């Protein structure tokens, strides 16, 4: 089986029906986040590259058809129309690393309807997860206020792939390194790490452990000092580092307790010994809120290692994302369901000064000095350009961050800018809504009318 089977069953049942009915004209689907999670002032677009990799390789193979038939308890011949189906469409998307707001399409897919439908689940999975993690990681960088942040999340992320993405996305938004060796090697960032408490416990004494570790690793070392008594651990580390003349670039790591108070006492011990160049690394259940609290308190911590809470975006582990049809066979369509109304038509997002973003129709021009966020990333099922480098993604993020209003940057109680619809989009919403309401009233078939509509954006737009 291929990745084509990594989908929800209803995508298969719908695609089968579309093919049976001859509904293979181009459809445009828009992927967007309806509302930002609580405590977020912005999102960082991510997951596009994984989505494009999937779409380029998408092809329904004979084994996939057999898997679909087995899942549906149907003869294989009933699904033969799916065999050989591949993605031949277009993708317009916000490049990875750019900042986006609620309601703004992160990507739009235009392809023959069965193709565009079958890829929904995978695209939502990749974009939703990676955007959530990148946005969480970005807030840690903001909280650290210029101090290095490193990724320690692999051991508790929801799977190995998720751990790799946490490391990669951390690098995109400015993390200084990761403990994940595979990710560090693959994406070209520093691999970072120290020792575990078990290492210290394996030796007769803490000092024996520190000396053995230093002998095994020439150059700067980081010693974990809180296995038994933190202050004594710092004193022992001070003695070992000074005796071995290994102070420059070395560090002590605090992993438990009142990190702020312990950092103050550790800094005092190090300074009293003349080891001002030995840094303090803090870890242990940290996220942007804990980092912000430590920074605001003036804790003398040089580097923050964040793990579980960031790798799973613990406070907001999912996004209210959607993938909705906005156009079929050249006609705009929309969904009228209460609280989930969506706006018709293929879209474009116009980024204006101060994030006074406008969500408009693809066909309209940019207002004033606004520029377009969605770029053509795939045409005829193939990428239109080279895969961006990490440096390019980092540069996008940094540039967008510099323009974001201060209120959106706050770690606590941020205020997110809100995109507004263009006049042309608003007019189209009114027109299509009116037509659908008349259709529903005339047919007496509200369910059919609702099924007939589908969307993107937010109206909420």
> Do 222 and 125 fall into the same domain?
no
CATH number of the domain to which 223 belongs: 3.20.20.70
Radius of gyration of the chain (CA): 26
Cα separation of 437 and 435, whole Å?
Answer: 6
Summary mean pLDDT of the chain: 94
Res 459: pLDDT: 38
> Do 223 and 337 fall into the same domain?
no
For residue 456, pLDDT beyond 70 = no
Cα separation of 4 and 19, whole Å?
Answer: 17
> Do 142 and 118 fall into the same domain?
no
Res 453: pLDDT: 44
Which DSSP string do the residues of 73-134 spell out, in sequence order? T--GGGGGGGTT-B---EEEEPPTT-EE-TT--SEEEEEEHHHHHHTHHHHHHHHHHHHHHH
| Among 94-103, 240-249, 435-444, the least confident range | 435-444
The whole-angstrom distance between residue 152's C-alpha and the CA centroid of its chain comes to: 17
Q: Average of pLDDT values for 10-22?
A: 96
Res 439: pLDDT: 85
Q: Token pair of 148, please? A: 């290095």
pLDDT tens by residue, 228-237: 999 999 999 9
Q: Name residue 93's beta-bridge partners.
A: 107, 375
> Do 100 and 235 fall into the same domain?
no
Query: Confidence class of residue 444 from pLDDT cuts 50, 70 and 90?
Result: low
Res 172: pLDDT: 98
- Contact in structure between 10 and 108 (CB atoms under 8 Å): no
Residue 111 lies in a domain: yes
For residue 448, pLDDT beyond 90 = no
Q: Name residue 310's beta-bridge partners.
A: none
> Do 47 and 114 fall into the same domain?
yes
Q: Which domain holds residue 111?
A: 3-131+319-452
Q: What is the reported pTM?
A: 0.93
Q: Token pair of 239, please? A: 């003695």
Cα separation of 19 and 17, whole Å?
Answer: 5
> Do 105 and 88 fall into the same domain?
yes
Question: Could you give the percent of the chain with pLDDT greater than 90?
Answer: 90
Q: Average of pLDDT values for 434-451?
A: 67
Cα separation of 319 and 394, whole Å?
Answer: 22
End position of a domain, from candidates 256, 276, 311: 311
Q: What is the DSSP letter of 277?
A: T
Question: Could you give the percent of the chain with pLDDT greater than 70?
Answer: 95
> Do 298 and 172 fall into the same domain?
yes
Q: Name residue 254's beta-bridge partners.
A: 282
Segment of 161-165, 352-356, 432-436 carrying the highest mean pLDDT? 161-165
> Do 124 and 228 fall into the same domain?
no
Res 442: pLDDT: 80
Residue 460 lies in a domain: no
CATH number of the domain to which 53 belongs: 3.20.140.10
For residue 339, pLDDT beyond 90 = no
Query: What letters, b where the CB count within 10 A reaches 16 and e where it falls short, cover 107-142?
Result: bbbbbbbbbbbbbbbbbbbbbbbbbbbbbbbbbbbb
> Do 246 and 324 fall into the same domain?
no
Residue 113 lies in a domain: yes
Q: Token pair of 344, please? A: 């018709």
> Where are the strands (E) in 207-320, listed by range?
222-224, 251-254, 279-282, 303-306
pLDDT tens by residue, 357-402: 999 999 998 777 789 999 999 999 999 999 999 999 999 999 999 9
> Do 11 and 35 fall into the same domain?
yes
Q: Average of pLDDT values for 41-45?
A: 98
Residue 457 lies in a domain: no
Res 455: pLDDT: 37
End position of a domain, from candidates 253, 283, 311: 311
Residue 461 lies in a domain: no
Q: Average of pLDDT values for 270-283?
A: 97
Q: Among all chains, which residue has been given the structure tokens 């529903």? A: 440
End position of a domain, from candidates 311, 329, 359: 311
pLDDT tens by residue, 148-178: 999 999 999 999 999 999 999 999 999 999 9
pLDDT tens by residue, 299-333: 999 999 999 999 999 999 999 999 999 999 999 99
Q: Are strands 303-306 and 149-151 parallel, antiparallel or unpaired?
A: parallel
Residue 459 lies in a domain: no
For residue 458, pLDDT beyond 80 = no
> Do 207 and 250 fall into the same domain?
yes
> Do 293 and 153 fall into the same domain?
yes
Which DSSP string do the residues of 36-78 spell out, in sequence order? PPTT-S-EE---HHHHHHHHHH-B--HHHHHHHHHHHT--GGG
Q: Are strands 43-44 and 375-379 parallel, antiparallel or unpaired?
A: unpaired
Domain count for the chain: 2
| Among 260-264, 277-281, 447-451, the least confident range | 447-451
Element containing residue 177 per DSSP (H, E):
strand 177-178
- Contact in structure between 99 and 39 (CB atoms under 8 Å): no
Res 145: pLDDT: 97
For residue 39, pLDDT beyond 90 = yes
């Amino acid at each position: 089986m291929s990745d084509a089977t990594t989908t929800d069953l209803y995508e298969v049942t719908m695609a089968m029906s579309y093919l049976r009915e001859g509904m293979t004209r181009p459809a445009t689907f828009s992927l967007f986040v309806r509302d930002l999670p609580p405590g977020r002032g912005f999102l960082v677009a991510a997951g596009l590259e994984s989505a494009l990799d999937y779409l380029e390789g998408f092809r329904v193979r004979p084994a996939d058809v057999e898997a679909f038939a087995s899942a549906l308890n149907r003869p294989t011949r009933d699904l033969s129309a799916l065999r050989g189906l591949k993605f031949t469409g277009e993708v317009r998307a916000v490049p990875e690393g750019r900042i986006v707001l609620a309601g703004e399409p992160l990507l739009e897919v235009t392809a023959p309807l069965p193709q565009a439908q079958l890829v929904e689940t995978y695209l939502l999975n990749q974009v939703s997860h990676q955007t959530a993690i990148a946005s969480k990681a970005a807030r840690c960088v903001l909280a650290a206020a210029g101090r290095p942040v490193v990724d320690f999340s692999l051991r508790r992320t929801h799977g190995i792939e998720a751990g790799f993405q946490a490391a990669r996305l951390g690098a995109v938004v400015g993390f200084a390194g990761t403990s994940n060796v595979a990710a560090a090697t693959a994406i070209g960032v520093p691999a970072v790490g120290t020792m575990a408490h078990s290492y210290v416990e394996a030796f007769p004494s803490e000092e024996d452990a520190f000396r053995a570790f230093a002998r095994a690793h020439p150059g700067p070392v980081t010693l974990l000092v809180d296995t038994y008594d933190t202050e004594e651990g710092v004193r022992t580390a001070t003695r070992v580092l000074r005796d071995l003349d290994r102070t420059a670039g070395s560090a002590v790591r605090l992993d438990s307790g009142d990190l702020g108070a312990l950092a103050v006492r550790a800094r005092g011990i190090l300074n009293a010994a003349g080891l001002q160049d030995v840094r303090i690394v803090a870890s242990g259940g940290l996220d942007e809120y804990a980092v912000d609290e430590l920074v605001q308190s003036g804790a003398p911590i040089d580097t923050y290692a964040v793990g579980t809470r960031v790798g799973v975006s613990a406070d907001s582990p999912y996004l209210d994302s959607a993938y909705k049809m906005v156009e079929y066979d050249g006609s705009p369509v929309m969904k009228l369901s209460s609280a989930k109304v969506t706006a018709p038509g293929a879209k474009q997002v116009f980024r204006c000064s101060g994030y006074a973003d406008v969500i408009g129709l693809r066909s309209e021009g940019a207002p004033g000095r606004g520029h377009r966020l969605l770029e053509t990333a795939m045409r005829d099922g193939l990428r239109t350009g080279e895969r961006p480098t990490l440096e390019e993604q980092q540069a996008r993020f940094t540039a967008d961050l510099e323009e974001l209003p201060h209120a959106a940057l706050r770690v606590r109680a941020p205020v997110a800018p809100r995109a507004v619809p263009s006049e042309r989009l608003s007019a189209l919403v009114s027109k299509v809504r009116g037509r659908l309401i008349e259709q529903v009233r005339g047919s007496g078939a509200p369910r059919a009318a609702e099924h007939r509509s589908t969307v993107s954006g937010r109206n909420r737009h």
